[in-house]
Chains A and B, each alone.
Chain A
Amino acid sequence: MNRRLNREICTLAEAHIAGKLSRRSFVTRLLGLGLSATAVASISAEFRPAHAASDLKGNVRFLVGPWSPQEVDHHKKISEGFTALHPDVTFEFRLYDWETDDQEINTSATAGAHDIYMITESAYPDYEANEAFVDLTSRINDPAFAEEKAKYLYFDRTLGFGPRIMGLPISFHVESALFVNMDMVKAAGFDETFADSWDSFRNCLAKLNKPGEVYPIALGVQPYGEWYQVLRAAGGSFLTPDLSSANVNKPEVIDATARMASLFTDKLAAPLGTYNYDDGPAAFAGGKVAILSIDLAATTVVKLPLPFNWKLIPNPPQAAGRMNFNDITYYMINSKSSNTDLMWEVAKWWTTGEHDAYWADNSGTYPARVDALSNGYGTKAAPQLAEALPSYQKFSVGLESFAGWASVESLASAEVQKCFTGDVSAKEAIANVESVVKQETGH
C-alpha cells in the first residue's frame, strides 16, 4: 500500500508542477489521499491478525528427524525463501536420531536448546499434556488464520488427544507398507489381486520362494508399527477405547499373530536379523526380496526408478479387516523460545502448501495440506506413493491416546518377535504383550 500511495502522491505533484492541477486542488486531493490512507490503515488494523509478526529478526534453531539422507538440505532450501523476505532471520538445523528422538527432544526442550521441533504423533500425547511446547490453539483458531487453517488436514485427529492444538501438521506417514516387486509376483502366476486374501497371499509367497536367491518376504526390518497394524486389523488395541483396560489378548489377535509367525517358521520370510532398516531397501531394489515390509521413507533410500515394476499395498495383506497404521508429524514451538511470534511465522512458512509439498515430495511421506498437490507434490516422489494413498487413507488408523504409547509399542514388538523365532507360541507372546501393556500403563 505504501508504494501505491507514493505513486499517487508523485502523480499529483507532477500534475501540479506541470500546471495541470491548481494549488488548491493539489492540496485538497493530497489531504483526501491522506485521509483515505488513514482510513484504510485503521480498517486494516481491525482485521490485523492478533498474532501478526512485526519486525522479523533472530535466529531460529530447528531440531528435526532424518526422513531422508538429504534432510538438512531440504530445510535449507525452504529457509532460503524466508531469508530472502526477512534477511535478519537466520537458521540452524540439527537432526535427532529416530531411536532416541523422545529423549533428545525432551532434553533439548528442557534446556531451551532449539526453537522449532519436528514431533511425530507417537510423542504428541505426552506433549499435549504438559507445557514444554507453546499452545498454538489461539493462533490456529484466530479468524485471520481461518482460510489457511482450512487447508491443513488432520486437525480433527489432533483434537482427539486433548483440547489444545500444539503444532502445525506437516505429514501423514505410513509406518508399515508392503513394497511389492510386481514383476516377480506376475512371474509367479499372480496378478494385482494376489494380496486380497491371506490364502492367495501365502500361495504367492510359496511360489516366490527361491532358496538362496530370493526371499519371498522380509518382515521385522523396521518393526515399529508393523505388528500394531495386525493387532488393530484383528480388532484389538493396546487399551480399550475408554483407555481403562488392556485389549490385546483376544483369539483373533492370537490367530493373526500366529499367521504372521507361520511365514517365518515355514521359511517364507527372511529370518529375523537378515536385513535391517538400512540394507532392507537395498535388498528389495537388488531383487533379493520380493516383498518388503517397511515405512514409506524407504522410497528416499533406494535409487529411483527401480529396474522393475513395483507397487505399494497396505499391510497386513487381507482385503477384509485391513487396517493401516500411520502417524502425523507436526512442527511445534518450544515454550522457552524467546520470540514466539517469529517461530509462528516460520512454522507457517514451513507448512505452506508449496513448502509442505516440497518437503513431503523429498521425504517419502504424504503432505498434510489440501493444496500440496497443486503446489508440486508428486514431481519427485515415486508415483507409487500417490497411487497407494487412497487405500492408506481408507484403512487409516492412528495411535491410541495415552502417554507412553511409543514405549508400549516398542516393548510389545520385541515380545511378538519371539514367536516369529519359535521361542514362544503366539498365545504366549500375546499374553506377554498384555503384561507389557499392564505394566507400562498401570491398567
Chain B
Amino acid sequence: MRFSAEEHARLRRRVRLRREISGWLFLGPMFACFVLFLVVPVFGTLWWSTRFGGLIGGTKFVGLDNFTRLITLVGAPQAIRNTLVFAGISVPLILAGALGIALLLARLEKGGAVYRFLVYFPVLVPGVVAALIWLFLTNSDFGLFNETLRAFGQSPVTWLSTDNALGILIALDVWRNVGYWAMFFVAAIIGLPDELYQAAKLDGASAFARFRFLTLPLLRRIIFFAIVVSTIWAFQVFDTAIVLTRGGPAGATTTVVYRVWQYVFGSSNKVGYASAISLVMIVAILALTLVQMRVLRSRRGGD
C-alpha cells in the first residue's frame, strides 16, 4: 500500500502531534507543581510585599513602604548579623570537614560502605528531629555534654545561653551537613585520574603537595558548587533554630528567615513585611552567588 505525499505529510503531522501531546502529558504534573509551588508563590510574595494586612481581614496597598521600613526594624541588625556569622562559620567548617572526611574515606579499602553510612546518617535525620536530639544533648541537668563535663570534674555549662546558643546551632548544622558534602567529595576523589598521582609520587611530591597541587585544583568545580549551595542553605537556616532555641535567648539565634516566620506566623497583619524581607533576601543571595561565581571563576583562570 502506498501513501500519497499529502497523506505522508498528514501522518507525519499526526505522529508529531501525538508525540508532542504525550510529551506534555509527561511534563504536565511536574509543570503544574512548578507553577503551583514556585511561580505562584513568587508572584504571591511580590504582591504581598506591597500590601499591609493578613490572610484574614483584607489588605491595603502600601507601595514600597514595607521595604523602606525594613531598615528601621528593631532587631533587624541582630538577625542579619546572626545569619552572616552562622553562614560565615558553618560553611567553611562543613566544607573543610567534608573534604577531610572524604579524603579519609577515599583511602579506605575495607568497610568503606559502613563508614560512609555512618558519616551520611545525620543527613537522613530531619532538621526538627536533629534539633530535638541536640536539645537533649545540651540539657543543663541531664544532657550528654554536661554529664561528660561532670564525669571529668568540670562545672556544667549552659549550652543554650546567649553566648553559646549560636555556636551550638552552627555545630548542629555542621553535624547534619558534613556527611552530605563528604559523599559528593568522595565520589569526585574516587573519579580523579590515578596516573597523575603516580606521576607526582615519582616526581617526589609529598602527600600535602599532591593534595594542594592536584586534588584541590581537580576538585575545584565541585568545591565551587558546594560553596555556592551550602552558602544559600546557610542563609536559610530556620528549622533547627526554632526547635532548639525559638530564636532566643534574647534573640541570640534569631536569623533573617526566623524573622520572616515571626511576621508570617506570629502576627496577624504583617505578611507584607515578611514578603519584603524574603524578596530582599532572594536578591542578596543572588548577588552573593554572582560575586562567588566571579571570584571563584577568576581563580580558575577563566576556564
Residues of A within 8 A of B (CB): 99-100, 102-103, 106-107, 109-110, 123, 126-127, 129-130, 132, 212, 220, 223, 270-276, 279, 283, 286, 288, 403-404, 406-407, 410-411, 414-415, 417-418, 420-421, 423, 432, 435-436, 439-440
Task: Give Cα A435 to B140, complex, Å.
Answer: 34
Among B24-32, B217-225, B259-267, B295-303, which stretch is in contact with chain A? B259-267
Which residues of chain A are within 8 angstroms of B57 by Cβ–Cβ distance? 126, 129-130, 132
Which residues of chain B are within 8 angstroms of A220 by Cβ–Cβ distance? 249
Which residues of chain B are within 8 angstroms of A411 by Cβ–Cβ distance? 74-75, 262
B73 within 8 Å of A by Cβ?
yes
Which residues of chain B are within 8 angstroms of A439 by Cβ–Cβ distance? 69, 72-74
Residues of B within 8 A of A (CB): 54-58, 69, 72-75, 135, 139-141, 155-156, 158-162, 164-165, 242, 245-252, 254, 262-270
Contact between chains at B268 and A404 (CB < 8 Å): yes
Q: Looking at the complex, which one of A273, A275, A286, A423 makes contact with B165 (CB distance below 8 Å)? A: A273
Main secondary structure of the interface of B (DSSP, over half): loop
Contact between chains at B268 and A123 (CB < 8 Å): yes
Which residues of chain B are within 8 angstroms of A223 by Cβ–Cβ distance? 248
Residue of B nearest to A272 (CB): B249
A110-B55, A275-B140, A417-B251 are contacts. A407–B267 as well, Cβ < 8 Å?
yes
Q: Looking at the complex, which one of A288, A403, A410, A421 makes contact with B250 (CB distance below 8 Å)? A: A421
Task: Give Cα A88 to B164, complex, Å.
Answer: 56
Which residues of chain A are within 8 angstroms of B247 by Cβ–Cβ distance? 414
Contact between chains at B248 and A415 (CB < 8 Å): no
A274-B158, A274-B161, A439-B73 are contacts. A102–B268 as well, Cβ < 8 Å?
yes
Residue of A nearest to B261 (CB): A100
Q: Looking at the complex, which one of A109, A271, A406, A421 makes contact with B267 (CB distance below 8 Å)? A: A406
A403-B268, A410-B266, A436-B74 are contacts. A272–B55 as well, Cβ < 8 Å?
no
Which residues of chain B are within 8 angstroms of A275 by Cβ–Cβ distance? 140
Contact between chains at A99 and B265 (CB < 8 Å): yes
A271-B158, A273-B160, A423-B162 are contacts. A130–B56 as well, Cβ < 8 Å?
yes
Contact between chains at B160 and A132 (CB < 8 Å): no
Residue of B nearest to A211 (CB): B155
Top 4 A-B pairs, shortest CB-CB distance: A272-B249, A407-B267, A417-B250, A273-B160
Contact between chains at B254 and A414 (CB < 8 Å): yes
Contact between chains at B266 and A406 (CB < 8 Å): yes
Contact between chains at B74 and A404 (CB < 8 Å): no
Contact between chains at A102 and B266 (CB < 8 Å): yes
Could you list some 15 contacts between A and B, CB below 8 A? A100-B265, A103-B265, A106-B268, A110-B55, A270-B158, A272-B248, A273-B249, A274-B158, A274-B161, A407-B269, A417-B249, A423-B250, A436-B74, A439-B69, A439-B73
Contact between chains at A126 and B250 (CB < 8 Å): no
Task: Give Cα A220 to B247, complex, Å.
Answer: 13
Contact between chains at A212 and B156 (CB < 8 Å): yes
Residue of A nearest to B244 (CB): A276
Which residues of chain A are within 8 angstroms of B245 by Cβ–Cβ distance? 273
Residue of A nearest to B243 (CB): A99
Which residues of chain A are within 8 angstroms of B74 by Cβ–Cβ distance? 411, 415, 432, 435-436, 439
